[in-house]
Every structure is written in C-alpha cells, then in structure tokens.
Structure 1
C-alpha cells in the first residue's frame, strides 16, 4: 500500500448489515475497485476465490461470517478512504457499536431476497441515534428477490427513512443486467467476469441505445424512475446529511456490479470529518490540537510477533509518528513510536495521519477501549458503553501448568472487549466469570486462548441471565440475596448476577431501598446516550 499524502480529503465509514447480506464481500469489492488488490476474495472461498482481506481470523474463514471488525485504508482518486468492516452477527454487536462511534457515515447492505432483517433494523436505529447518514445498498440483485418498490416501501415504513434511489435496476432480481442512473438518465450495463473475482466492465449508454439493447426492461426501468420522481423520491444532499433520507443503490457485490458507483457516491456525498463531541458537552474542532480515541484493541493478528494493536480514530489535528501525547485517563505521557496504517491484517508504518484516519498503535498496552489521547489543549471524549451481558460461564485452565498463560490471555481478551471478565474474592483469579452478549463470544475465547496463548480453557455454563449494576455500599446486602452473586468488572463497576428478572423483582420487593441499575441492552441507544452524558 503506497504512502498517502496528508492533504487529501478523508471519507471514514462503516459497512454494516445483517449476517450473510454480503458485507465482507462488498468490502473486498470496494478494495478491488480502488485498485488496492488485484483479485477479490469471497467468504467460504466461493467459486474458487481466495478468502476476503477483512475476514482474516481462522473462525471467520471457516464459517464465512465476520467475527471481529477490520479496518482498511486506501486511496481512491484524490481521497483517502477509511473503511471499517463490522461483525454482522448479533453476538458481536458490541464490536459493531464501537465501530459506529468512530465513523462519519455508514453503508447498509440489504439482502434483495430477505429485505429488512432484525439486525438490519437495529443497526439502522443505531445510526439514526448517532446521527450517521446512511447509504443503502440493495445487494444480491443477481439472485431472485423482492420487487424493488416493495423494498423501498419496507425501508420507509419500518425505519422511517425516506429512500431516494440513485440507481434503478434494469431487469428483475435474478436477471441483473445493469441500472438506470437516475442522475444522468444513462444506462450502466454490466458484464460478468469469471467468478466475479475481477472488476466487472461497465458500459454507459445513452437512453436510445439502452432502449435498443434492452427493450421492455429498459422501458420498465424508465417508468420506475418517473414514478419515483412523481412521488418525490429524488436525492437531496441536505436531507441525506440530516438523516431524513437514504440514497439507494442496486448492486451485486459478488459480481462486482454497482461497486464503482458506490465508491464515487461516497466521495461525492458522504460527510467529511466534523467536530467531535467531548465529555463536558463541548466539541473539538478538526483543526484543533491533535486528539484521538481508542475504539478497538486487537491482538493475535500476527502470530509471529504476538503484538497488540490499539485502533484509534484521529479526531483533530495532525498525528505524527513518534510524538508524545497525553493519556487522557491517567494524565501520563504516551509515546507513539510504532504507528501503522492498516489494510485488513496487513500493515505499513504511517508517519502522519489526519482527522478521520484510523491508525494502529502497536504494543500500546496502556490504551483501552474508550481512552482518549491528545497533545496540547486537554480533551476527553465520552466512554464507550459495555452492553448488558446475558450469557455467563466460569472459566478455568485445563492444564494448571499453563496458569500464567491463562491469566495473561483472559486479561488480554478482557481488555480487547471480546468478553467482559468478572471477578470476586470468592472465585479468585483461577475461576473468573466470562460475561457475553451472545454465546458465540465464548467460542472465540476458547479458540483464541488455545491458538494464541497456548492455554486451553474449560467453560462451565452458569444459570445467570440478568446483570444489574450495584452501588458499592449495597454490595454486601445484595450478596446475601438467595441466587445472586456480586462480581467486579475491570472498570471497577460492581455487577450483581441473577438467574432471571423475576429474582430481581423479588429482591426489590423485599428490599425497596436497593439500587439495582439496568445496563444498556445491546442496541439500546437511548440508555447508552444517558450513560454517556
């Protein structure tokens, strides 16, 4: 990956969707069309293609789903693109939420055959609450699917965003020939390539030539365009930026149809980095002194080096490798000697970075998710929420001679946010409780503990399903409640675990003075906003 000039404007966005909507395949296709890879991969190695750049973990490649977020930075024209692929599975919604705190807009994929699925609805709502403009891509139009107008109605009725298609399909779902570009009136005709691994050729035809080539299918696309205009479904930049509308494109990420249109659209209309809200209710301007915050910590990307990478979003000023910043939490100086730009699991040294850029700080053991670093004028950004866990398991090492590796690995995964690790004097460090939003997080723990730390673990599923935050002065009283257990999270928060919500209600009826505070549920953005302020 070539060095990127600091002066080029930035576009920083996330790709989000329900599982199996084609998110990682689209990420790969975007990199292909930006000419930073020569051949696109696919999940499960479809059609003989290699695996995707963004899905680099063994579990991701085996299952064909994204388990962890991945950052890719590349140049496109006179812009620098910071693209963050996110986990689609609901069990990893905390990771997706962290990513959405670090981007300026989102690309939402909708499966043409399935329409709006539960995780899609939740993510749209997250974007709306965060004020992130959303571009919608109707993916897999090369397969049988729903009527395009039915999809537009579903988006508007179920989400409340007004869809404003910028392209309209020529041919029904499953017979994807190209699209009518509603901005120019021209026909963009696509040509398939072998397995979709290389960039699909495009032809731009004038309306008369399109009518001659496609006949009735073109005329039906034109009628669709006229109906959309009559209904007021034309793109408006201000409405998109304000989160009232969502531009819509029709595409096939696997075939690389419509991908270059999406890249051009992101450059043209997606917002540039803007001032960042601070913890005291103010804002940090992009041209202020340097500042950034950590939205992800990841280790295990390079087995030969076993380093740890803290992903930071640059919010203001200019980052220069080697600069000494201040750690906002401790007030201590923080050296930035090892800084890298990231492309999947591949990395190159980066000397400078601008607002909007995602930078990987290597072996930054002092940095945790939600931390702020800055130079010059002090600033702190709001913390990033930990969601309420619903699944709990007690962890122990299978080989007691691997105890040190077990302790180190559990602490590392806790700091990364793979799971929440809860401890108590009664259980000790040998038997911590792992708390997760979804059970697949436990599978990641088991796999990574053995592969990266050489410490196979045994998990004992516990009968708890509810966690409540407890005031320190009431902890002993809560410990006396039958069926409850109080443990401490890494950030010092005390959590009381209960078998079910009925036991919580029973405890409150018996002792109304107890304060058992609910935690933000996965996707409960109103509760999170209250927490952050």
Structure 2
C-alpha cells in the first residue's frame, strides 16, 4: 500500500495501485526546469492521457520489459505522431524476467512504425541485471544499491570497448553476449538523426528499472540534452512564438476536489507563450471576457504552492469558480486567438444513473455535473415521460468505478448504475428530428450536457443502417464541431 507513485494522490489510486488521473510534477536538474505530466497507463483512462499529450512538448514512452508494446500504447503513439512530438523510450523492469531486448526493439519498430535507436544496451536481465552499456561513449555503467525513489544509485563507470578485457573480467560469458548484440546493432540498426527524433520518426531507447533507479539518471541526462524546449504552437491566427508573443495558454484538464477540505476546482493551464505573473488579467477567448488570474498555484501531485511568475512550458493551476472548460484559450488583453482543438472521443460504454433517495438528487446533480466537466466521463440526458434520465458515457468500465467512488467520498451520494447495451455515440449535425429514433431498441436519442442531440447505437451495423437510410444525415464522431460553433 506504500508503493504508490509520488504522483498518485487520489485515494482510489492508492487503493488499487494504478493511476486514474493525470498529475503534474516538476523538479530542477542541471539548471533546467522539468515539468512532468504523469498520465494513467490503463486504457480505460486513455482519454485523459490523450488530452494531456496536447500540453506536452515531448513524450516518454514507458515499456514493460515483459509485455512490450501494449494496445493503449499504440493509441497514444498515434496522438504523438499526429502532433509530431519527439518520443523517448525507457524499457522498464529490466530487473525482472522479461522479453529479449532485440525482440522488444523489433516490437516497437513493427507495431508503432518508428525506428528505435538504442542509446544504451542492457547487461543481463532479471536478477542478473547488472547495468547498461552506453554505445556512443563506449562505456559500461554498472549499478549497485538503490531503492524506489529514496536512494541514489551507486554507479561504476568502465570506459572500454565491448570486447575489452576489463569487461571480460567482470562479466565473464556475458561480455561475449553483449559484444555480439552491439555488433548486430552497429551493423543493422539505423543511425541516430536528431531531426528525425524531433519529428517523431525515431525514438531513442534506454533500458533500466525505475523501482531501483537503475538507468534512470543516464536517461534523464540524455533527455534534457536532446528534448526540445517549448516550441511555437498553432492557433487559428497562425503560429504562436513562445518567447516573442505575450502571455497565452490553454486549459487541458480540470480537476474538482483536489483538496478534500475544500470543494474547490482547479483548471490546469499549459503556458504556451510569454510571462505569467500573479494577478495578471487575461481574456478568455471562448467568451471574450476579461479574467483576473489572482489565485494560481504550482502543482505537485495534490500539494500546491503559490506561483508568482511562470513561463512558456510551465503548467500552473488556476482556481476555477466554474468558468473554464477543457480546451479554453487564455490570451493577454488585446489578443484574441484560439489554440488547436483538444481531441474528444466517442464513449464506448454507457450506464444509466439511479440514486437511492430523493433527498440526494441535488447532491447527485451537482456531483455528476462537476465530474463531467473534468472530462473523465460524458453526461447525457434522455427525455422520458416528462423527466430527464441521466446517462454516463466513458471509454472504459473502470471509469464508472472511479465515478461511483468519488461521488460517495466527495458528495456522500451512493450511486447505482445500470449497464446499457450501446457502444457508439454520434452527434447529428444541422437540423435533426429525434422522433424516428425514439422507439428503436438498437439506438437511443439523447442530449449531451450542452443540449446538443446525440444518437447512441448498440452496434456498428445499426450505425451503418441509419447512414444508409438517411443519407443526408451527417453524424460526427465527436462533439468538437458543435462546441466550437456555440463558442463563436
């Protein structure tokens, strides 16, 4: 129970040992400031991860040495590819039994379609994992000591070619295995190309163990050397330079009740350009209103500290009285532009909400609306006999467990959920008459939280049937188009 990650702060995360929400961390290393957006790895929470990737300048792809590339990794990689951001790969858990390193390298290249460039290579694996060999420097780093996040690893450096006598004396037969693997990489592997790394076509590859800190420092040093500083970002007015353009940023996440003693709400803002100062007045592009940013914090998991000044690349928390939405752009006074859309995804699981007791309905409505605004679930309503029935949509079933847990702990509401047979949601565009769809068991006409019509389908076949029967009906996979239409 004590082995949850530093960034895991929700009580449910600690109980289950998984991350269910993105956390923000920051630290200084070698005179540089590093902002980490630690995202959930479970596929049920992939939408939170997708949105967070929009705020990142680089991505660290953590690969389990025993599992290789997992299904959710492929989806996240596609988002990185679309954005063209560099990806740095760290093969984790080398101190446990896992797959052959060459097999893992091949897995990354074949499944993701990206050239993997091993910067170092493991010396042994499992209980025999001794360290890594750095190819460019022609030196071995042998590790000893170290524990989960508490002890600096003792590292012994030996500068020697792979077949050198010094390594043979230390490694015995493993020296020949290492030499053969490195010879194969030198002969058949792709060469490092910084521009291809920066454009996401190559991924530098490292090996180690985060639990014991083996190989973490060499990775971090390389990452800080090769990862780009904040770059220009696209907006509807053109490219926004991070240095010359006055303050601007966008909201990529909203989190309610981070402090259990206060029912507050924090908007996570990625600063894209200029200098932020506490008390700055900025314009919310969606509404055109001027907002004074008087309450701002630096985030470290659930801990906070007041921020006086921040710059492009920093992530800060803004106190949100209910005025911000995910995807909102904030600009300096006099500017008005909007950053590129944050992707929204069609839910794949649906549940009808039931609450025990009329007295709890007000608390339920408040809690569900607040949590839906975070983007963890999507909220729909169905008109049935004069009363609105609430429906939740999510990417995965585990999100409903989180919803139920948070409503119980934060709003004191016991929630009953009934599974619905639908697997697809589509947003009709233009004029839409829901009547033909009200009495069909294979589909359901509902409205989203902005009162836009939505159709839920049980199968792709029935979706195709509707498209063929109503060829003039345009069905969008996301609500993005409608949201931005209503924002203007």
With 258-267 and 94-103 compared, the bigger mean Cα shift is at 258-267
CA drift at 1:210 = 3.5
Contact 1:101–1:295 at 8 Å: present in 2 too? yes
Is 2:285 the partner of 1:328? yes
Please, which moves more after superposition, 141-150 or 411-420?
A: 141-150
Aligned residue for 2:433, secondary structure, equals: helix
Question: What is the distance in 1 between the residues matched to 2:106 and 2:385?
Answer: 54
Q: Is the alpha carbon distance of 1:358 and 1:429 closer, same or farther for their aligned partners in structure 2, counting shifts above 3 Å?
A: farther
Distance 1:303 1:495, change over 3 A: same
Determine whether 1:408 maps to 2:361: no
Q: Distance in 1 between matches of 2:477 and 2:253?
A: 25
- 1:73-119 Cα deviation digits (max 9, x unpaired): 11112110000111111111110000110001111111112222212
User: CA shift at 1:276, angstroms?
Assistant: 0.7
SS at match of 1:423: strand
**1:371 alignment partner in structure 2:** 328
Which residue among 217, 222, 226 is the counterpart of 1:260? Answer: 217
Query: 2:138 matched to 1:185?
Result: yes
Report what 1:224 is aligned to. Answer: 181
Query: For residues 236-315 of structure 1, what are the structure 2 equivalents within 5 Å?
Result: 236-280=193-237, 282-287=238-243, 288-315=245-272
- Counterpart residue number, 1:487: 446
Query: Which of the numbers 448, 463, 466 marks the counterpart of 1:504?
Result: 463
Number of equivalent positions: 473
1:123 deviates by 1.9
Describe the superposition over 1:436-479 as per-residue Cα deviations: whole angstroms up to 9, x where unpaired: 11111111111111111122222122222221111352233444
More strand by share: 2
**Residue in 2 that maps onto 1:57:** 10
Query: Does structure 2 conserve the Cα–Cα contact (< 8 Å) formed by 1:371 and 1:383?
Result: no
The Cα shift of 1:125 comes to 2.2
Equivalent residue of 1:414, what SS?
A: helix
CA RMSD after TM alignment = 2.1
Structure 1 residues 171 and 506, CA gap change in structure 2 (3 angstroms):
closer
8 Å contact kept, 1:468–1:519: yes
Structure 1 residue 356 displacement after superposition: 0.7
The answer to whether the 8 Å contact 1:310/1:364 transfers is no
Aligned partner of 1:69 in structure 2 is: 22
2: CA distance, partners of 1:474 / 1:284 = 38
> 2:317 matched to which residue of 1?
360
User: Does 2:387 align with 1:432?
Assistant: no
Match of 1:342 in 2: 299
SS in 1 for 2:286: coil
1:127 maps to which residue? Answer: 80
Residue 462 (str. 1) matches residue 420 (str. 2): yes
Q: How far has the Cα of 1:334 moved from its partner?
A: 1.2
Unaligned runs of 5+ in 1: 1-43, 522-533
Q: Distance in 2 between matches of 1:371 and 1:77?
A: 34
CA gap 1:161/1:471 in 2 versus in 1, 3 angstroms: closer
Q: Helix, strand or coil for the counterpart of 1:464?
A: coil
**In 2: Cα distance, 1:103 partner to 1:404 partner:** 38
Q: Which residue of 2 aligns with 1:417?
A: 375
Deviation of the 1:284 alpha carbon: 0.8
1:491/1:372 CA distance change after superposition, 3 Å: farther
Whole-angstrom distance in 1 between the partners of 2:136 and 2:387: 62
Please name the residue that 2:113 is paired with: 160
SS in 2 for 1:432: strand
Unpaired stretches in structure 2, ≥5 consecutive residues: 481-488
Counterparts in 2 of 1:55 and 1:195: CA distance versus 1, 3 Å: closer
